[in-house]
Structure formats: C-alpha cells, structure tokens
Structure 1
Amino acid sequence: MSGEDIDGKAVAATIRGELKERVSSLRSPPGLAVILVGSRRDSQTYVRMKKKACEEVGIQSFGFDYPDTVTEDELLQKIAELNSDDKVHGILVQLPLPKHINEDSIIEAVHPTKDVDGLHPRNNAALCSTGTHVGAEKVDWADLSSVPFHIPCTPQGCIELLDRSGVELKGKNAVVIGRSNLVGLPVAMLLMHRDATVTIVHSKTTDAPGVVGRADVVVAAVGRAEMVKKEWIKEGAVVIDVGINSVDDASAKRGYRLVGDVDYAGCKEVASKITPVPGGVGPMTIAMLLRNTVNSCVRSGATKGE
C-alpha cells in the first residue's frame, strides 16, 4: 500500500481562487494589517508570503515594521488605532515577539472581530463551546467558513484538508499528537465538533505508539523531526503532519532539508492518505488567514449594494 498525498498547495490554490471571486463581490477590499517586530529572517519570509497571497486575492495589506527595541506600549497604541480603522478587517501580529514584550497582552489587545489568527481568548472560548450557538448566532461546525468567529488558521487548515480529501470524521478515532494552544488543543476541539472520538498524546503519555496505532486519523503537531514512525500508524489511517523541522543534510543545497513530525516515507507505506512536508499543511495556514480576513470584511457589511 502506498498512501495518496494530500496536496496542500493545490487545495490552497483552489481556496485562493474562491476567495478572489468573493472579494470581487465586495463593495470595498478587505484590509489586513501586519505587524512585524525585529529582523528574524523566518518572520520576514512568512510576512512576505502572506502579503503576496493577499495581493493575489485582492486583499489590501498594510505593513507596520518595528525594530526589536519597540516597547509594548507602542505596539498596544498601534493595535488600538487599527482596531478603530474601518479599512482594516484583520490584524496579524507576527510571532514570536521579543522577550521584553508580553505576547498575551498583545494578542488580547486585538479586537476579537479582527483577530484573524484566532488567538484571542474570546475566540478560543467560542471554539471550546459545545453548544450549537455562540451568543445569539448559530454555529454550523460542518462548514467552518460560516462559523461566526475566527478559528486558528493552522487547525482550520487541517480540517479543511480532511474535508476536501473526502475523509469522514464522524465516529472515527482521531489522535492529536501535541497539546499546544496554537495547534494541538484547537485541532482537537475541531475534531470533536465533527463527532470524532479524540485522544491527545503528549510528553507524559505512557504508550504513545500504542495510542496512535488505534487511530483512524492522526494529526502530528509536536515539533519533533520524524518522531512518528511507520510502526505507529494503523494500515489505512489518514495522517496530517503539521510539523516543519530542519535537519542537517550535506547533500542539500542549503545544507539542510525540511521534514515533518512524521517519517513520511515510512508512514506513506501504510497510510491511505498523508500530507507531505513541505507542501501539505503549510500553504493551508495562509489560505485560512485570507479566508478569516475576507469573512471579517463580509461581517462588517462590505457587500455590494448595502
């Protein structure tokens, strides 16, 4: 058996096309403000990719770059200004921030309706609700694009990949490896909202291979290169690899190569479907950021004729 690749690049391209069409129906373009602090090369690369994707679908991006020495108060003041700016429908603060800045304070300063990263405590609380409504608004967990609050981008992208690959989640055993606030916990909540039976594997789990081996769907988000081996995976399981790690490789042009949390070559032999790294979950994270921004604009009443 050789598992089918779930092509995140292709799915993300399709979603960008759908978003471009939606944006063309709006009275004014969605606006995304991107705050970048410092000169980390990886952060600069991510921001460039996000701005390029915005341009492709017709989202107007506003960049605000600060040196490492910026104060927390300066960032809070800028966020307050952006919260009040009607041209801005989404605010993204590129993480991580310098150690002298409290990331939680910055995240909580972004208005929940503009928190397109889905990290604000109010959005997290809505995600953790087990009811059919958030406030007065009905929630349709079968269609994440219609949910009336912002869902974190990477977890949302994982579910979108499963949906568009025809993977049924209801009644399935799903194992999430990792319990971070950014990916592990929110993706576990989303899987539960789809009626999967969810187990979270973490550093204190006594028999991780045994637990993972019972899963129909595995989401690996632990940040350890190729930790999940072929022997862990049940034949026919679906594997979503969120991890992105660099490992030394003298044969590679840059002296390293990117791998996930899953031993891709081995696990592909037993999985029915699997995401590659790179080219799997990564492109979906940006696609979901764009979708959250467009949704925020629509909720603000920017459709034509209004």
Structure 2
Amino acid sequence: MRAALIDGKAIGAKLRAEVAVQANKLANEGWQPKLVSVSVGDTSAAELYVRNQQKQANSAGVDFEARNYPAETSLEQLIGILQGLNGDPRVNGIIIQRPLPDHIPVKVLQKAVHPLKDVEGMHPASIGNIVYNDLALGPCTAVAAVEILKTLPLQMEGLNVTVIGHSEIVGKPIAFLLMGLGATVTVCHHMTRSVAMHSRAADAVFVAVGKPGLVTGDMLKPGAALIDIGINRIDTPEGPRTVGDADMASCAEVAGWITPVPGGVGPVTVATLMKNAVLATQMQMDHYRGAYAQTDV
C-alpha cells in the first residue's frame, strides 16, 4: 500500500474561489473585506507568512494591509492600536503576526481583538464557541485540518480519530470540531502512556506537536488517514528542509491518505483565514445594519 497524497493546494484554491465570489458580493454592497496584519519588531521570521497572506488575499478578493511597529512599542500602545482597528468599520479582520518581542504577551493581544474581527479564531470567545458547535470564526489551522478530513471518502459519524497534541488553538479545537461531526475522539499528549496504542486503533490521526518524525508507520492502522499539522525546519546534507511531525517515508507505506509538508494543511489554513475574513465582514455588516437601521416611527 502507498498512501495517496492529499493536495492541500487544490483544496485551498477551491476554497479561495468560493471566498472570492462572496467577497465580490460584499464589495458590491459597499463592504469590501479588508484584513490588517500587525507585526512588531524584527519581522524577518514572519515575512514569508505575510507575503503569502497578501498573495492569497489578493486572489480571494480581500484587501490586505501590513503594518509594522518598532520593537520598543509598549503593550499599552499596541492595545490602543488594536482598539483603534476594532472601531474602524473599514477594517474587518486583524491578524497578529508571531513571533512578538518578549515584553508583548500574545494572549493579551489576542484578547484585545474584538471577537467580530478575530479572523484567526484566537480570541477565547472564538475558541470557546466551538464547545457549542458554533463555527463562525474558528481557529484557522484546526478548521482547515478538519476540512481536509471531510474531503476524504470516510463517514464522519462514529469515525475513530486520535489527535496527538492538545494545544488550545489546534489540538483541543480539532477534538471538539470532530466530536461535533459525530466522530469518536481520543486526545494524546505528553503524559499519554502509549500514544501508539491509541493511534494504531484510529481510522484517522491528526498530529500537531512540533517534533519531526514523531509518528512512524508502525503507529498507524493500515489505510488510516494521517493529517500532519507539524511544521519543522531540519538540517539535511542537502540543506535546510521543512518537514512535518510524521516520518513521511514509513507512514506513506501504511496510511491510506497523508498530507505532505509543505503543501498539505498550510494552504488550506490560509484559505480558511480568507474565508473567516469574509464571514467577519458579513457579520459586521449585519451588526451595523441591525444597530443603525432606520425604523418607522
């Protein structure tokens, strides 16, 4: 058996095309979707992500503005900047680029973004809503990973799934999203006694840990789907290379489907960000119309 590679670029392109239609419709109604990216300090680590977001936004009909602030900008100043963006009706979504300077706690900034403009799905309210199966603005990576699984010929109801990694913005949201679809979910973490015991029993495995080669072929059930969310830079004799959390060579011999890294979850994550931008614009339009609509006296 040789696993079929899941084409994340094709899935992302299809999603962006759908988003472009919705963005154009909103623009015709006077609500051109617009994202603002906020970077602080040395932006070299985030430059590739920002350029990619800019490119994907352009193809999805979403305006994109990148703002860079000096490293010495204080937390109070940044919160003030975010509050200004929250109150600007021309801005529909806010992206906080990482990494940030040490004196800026990312969670504080994420909480300062208004939930209606939280296109990354990082606000506690956005993540908490998933518990109630409210997916309006979910965490992009988690939503993208689950959307990829939904493209496979697998019945979600009763599907046995193992999620390796329990972060607040990826692992845990994936588990709740899957449960909302009727899957039976096991979540593994660093205190799990035997991750392999759980992963070998699963019809689908998600891994998001940040450890290259963590999942190997002998940890998988033959024919299972493997969604690799990890992004790691490793040194090889040929030079630096980006890999996931799975050992591609051994896993591809056992799995039925597998996401490559790069080219798997990443493109769908960015497309999901654009989808969230359009959803956020729609929600803001509805909010303003509801709050300021003229009524008969």
Q: Distance in 2 between matches of 1:167 and 1:98?
A: 43
Aligned partners of 1:104, 1:300: CA distance in 2, in Å? Answer: 23
Matches within 5 A, 1:40-51: 40-51=43-54
- Which residue of the partner structure matches residue 150 of structure 1? 137
**Aligned-partner Cα distance in 2 for 1:42–1:170:** 40
Q: Give the match for residue 243 of structure 2.
A: 259
**Paired position in structure 2 for 1:290:** 274
The answer to which of 119-128 and 159-168 deviates more is 159-168
Question: Partner letter of residue 216 of structure 2?
Answer: K
Question: 1:59 is aligned with what amino acid?
Answer: V
Shift of 1:203: 0.8
Change (3 A) 1:294 1:268: same
Deviation at 1:36, TM superposition (A): 0.8
> Cα deviation per residue 1:18-58 (whole Å; 9 max; x = unaligned)?
11111121223101111011224231111111111111111
Shift of 1:121: 1.0
Distance 1:183 1:18 in 2: 24
Question: In the alignment, which of 60, 64, 67 is matched to residue 63 of structure 2?
Answer: 60
Aligned residue runs from structure 1 range 243-254, under 5 A: 243-251=230-238
Structure 2 length as normaliser, TM-score? 0.92
Structure 1 residue 31 corresponds to structure 2 residue 20: no
Aligned to 2:225: 238
RMSD across aligned C-alpha pairs, in angstroms? 1.4
Q: Which one is further off, 163-172 or 237-246?
A: 163-172
Name the SS for the 1:175 alignment partner: strand
Task: Tell me the matched-pair count.
Answer: 284
| 2:18 alignment partner in structure 1 | 18
| Offset of residue 301 of structure 1 | 2.7
SS in 1 for 2:223: coil
Match of 1:178 among 165, 168, 191: 165
- The answer to which of 185-194 and 161-170 deviates more is 161-170
Equivalent residue letter for 1:299: M
What's the % identity of the aligned pairs? Answer: 39
Name the residue aligned to 1:5: 5
| TM-score, normalised by the number of residues in structure 1 | 0.90
Which residue number in structure 1 is paired with residue 108 of structure 2? 105
What CA distance in whole angstroms lies between the structure 1 residues aligned with 2:51 and 2:114?
24
Secondary structure in structure 2 of the residue aligned to 1:88? coil
How do 1:204-219 and structure 2 match up within 5 A?
Answer: 204-219=191-206
The residue identity in structure 2 corresponding to 1:270 is: V
Query: What amino acid maps onto 2:276 in structure 1?
Result: N
Instruction: Note the residue ranges of structure 2 that are not aligned, 5 or more in a row.
Output: 287-292
Q: Which whole-Å CA distance do the structure 2 matches of 1:164 and 1:86 have between them? A: 35
1:96 aligned partner: 99
Which amino acid letter does the alignment assign opposite residue 18 of structure 1? E
Structure 1: which 5+ runs fail to align? 131-138, 140-146
User: Do structure 1's residue 124 and structure 2's residue 127 form an aligned pair?
Assistant: yes
The Cα of 1:101 is off from its aligned counterpart by 1.1
- Structure 1 residue identity aligned to 2:16: R
Q: How far, CA to CA, are the matches of 1:166 and 1:66 in structure 2?
A: 46
Q: Which residue of 2 aligns with 1:135?
A: none
